[in-house]
Amino acid sequence: MAYLFPVEGVHPGFGDNCFIAPNATIVGDVQMGDDCSVWFNAVIRGDVNSIRIGNKVNIQDGAVIHCTFQKTKTHIGNNVSIGHNAIVHGCVIENNVLIGMGAIVMDNCMIGTNSIIAAGAVVLENTRVEPGSIYAGVPAKKVKDISQELINGEINRIAENYLRYSKWFADIEK
């Protein structure tokens, strides 16, 4: 059974058709839309500020979603994939975004629609990622504009795959 805890009387909330892995941890002021998945050992801590997650978002194994006390909230749009062991902290991620494995997105960042943050990238505090672009490196910098093939072949493909994978686990008790 997943670890779901209230913080100061505020409970996490979930939309329809969400898969939460048995060892995922979700606490406090977290609201999640429909068709989302939170995978094994992922942590979503809405203990110090709010976290809002749209529809068809997958938060993969070992990822951490958090924010900063009385300073930054985290907002994740629709059709977003957060890769294995990524850290998303006190930022805004718009729609149709892929955050690569092991990437770090810091406070007050804005990740524009149809963007990819490459695996292992570190997006420094206050960075504005242009819509339709790929950012990579440490610190992350724009490396190119994203093609329609990458939007369909990576962003949408991964989101659709994780929707399929979550159905494999539909019988696991939450």
C-alpha to C-alpha distance for 66 and 16, rounded to whole angstroms: 23
What predicted TM-score, i.e. pTM, was given to this entire model? Answer: 0.96
- The pLDDT confidence band at residue 169, using thresholds 50, 70 and 90, is confident
- Among residues 126, 138, 63, the alpha carbon closest in space to that of 117 is found at 138
Q: 49-98 pLDDT, tens per residue?
A: 999 999 999 999 999 999 999 999 999 999 999 999 999 999 999 999 99
Amino acid at 20: I
Kindly list the distances between the CA atom of residue 149 and the CA atoms of 74, 119, 132, 153, 161, in Å, as whole numbers in the listed order.
Answer: 29, 19, 12, 5, 16
- Among residues 93, 85, 94, 144, the alpha carbon closest in space to that of 119 is found at 85
Question: Tokens standing for 159?
Answer: 């989101």
- Domain 3-168 architecture: 3 Solenoid (2.160)
Amino acid at 142: K
